[in-house]
Amino acid sequence: MKLTNIIEIKATLLLKSGLHIGAGDNEMHIGGIDNSVVKNPITNHPYIPGSSLKGKIRSLLEWKSGEVKNKPLSLNDLEKAQSKQAVELILKLFGVSGDAEDSEKMQKIGASRLVFWDCDLNETWANEITQDGLSLTEAKSENTIDRITATAGNPRLTERVPAGAEFDFKLTIRVFDEDDKQELLNTVLSGLKLLELDSLGGSGSRGYGKVKFTELTVDGETRNLDDIKPFE
């Protein structure tokens, strides 16, 4: 298996609604934020972990394949799959578990093709916000409504990155000599379009995490995700 190319996809990831990717706080802060967003420990700026993007896009592609399971698809699932080509593509792109026992099948799938990068806040956007004296995050107040008394209870504050925020998005696709380069690329672009149609982060069913990829390029060439029809 020989590496023959590395495709680079870049874009601006624009938030169409507030985004919450949790930092996993272990403490409760009285009167403060209950659920904070993940932040860069050096700049204290929010960012989008590459692992969050990878996990969500993989999940959406697995749902689209019709072969989704309770956990990520594996080599064993490939053997039983009705949509073997779709499952094999997913395994090639996102990789298989390192403890897989069948070395022959592992060799056929090879190394994972996708490399996701953490998405930092766009520097220009962040500077404009801070120069205007605004915050890079917002506190969204939420509660539950008693169905009988119609009273609010369990108030909580969730930190979000606000709509309009821009992040620098990048991923690369490693192409080996036995791969169909266009097939890999088309699958990845379909995954990005599925993410636009769905949501990223927590509370997507409540309107959080709607995103849009703008100024998207593939190896420097402009591409428009509006041209991608993942269900056709």
Beta bridge partners of 39: 46
In tens digits, the chain (232 residues) has pLDDT values of 899 999 999 999 999 999 999 876 544 444 455 678 999 999 999 999 999 999 999 999 999 999 888 888 888 888 888 888 999 999 999 988 755 556 677 777 888 999 999 999 999 999 999 998 899 999 887 767 767 777 766 667 889 999 999 999 999 999 999 899 999 999 999 999 999 999 999 888 888 999 999 999 999 999 999 999 999 8
In a domain, 232, yes or no: no
C-beta separation of 62 from 72 below 8 A: yes
- Domain span including residue 27: 3-227
In a domain, 21, yes or no: yes
In a domain, 141, yes or no: yes
In a domain, 146, yes or no: yes
Phi and psi of 150, rounded to 5°?
Answer: 60, 30
Taking residue 28's Cβ as centre, other Cβ atoms within 10 Å add up to 7
Backbone dihedral region of 23: left (phi > 0), alpha (psi from -120 to 50 degrees) or beta?
alpha
Q: What is the pTM of this model?
A: 0.88
DSSP state letters, 2-24: -EEEEEEEEEEEEESS-B--B--
In a domain, 77, yes or no: yes
* Number of folded domains that form the chain: 1
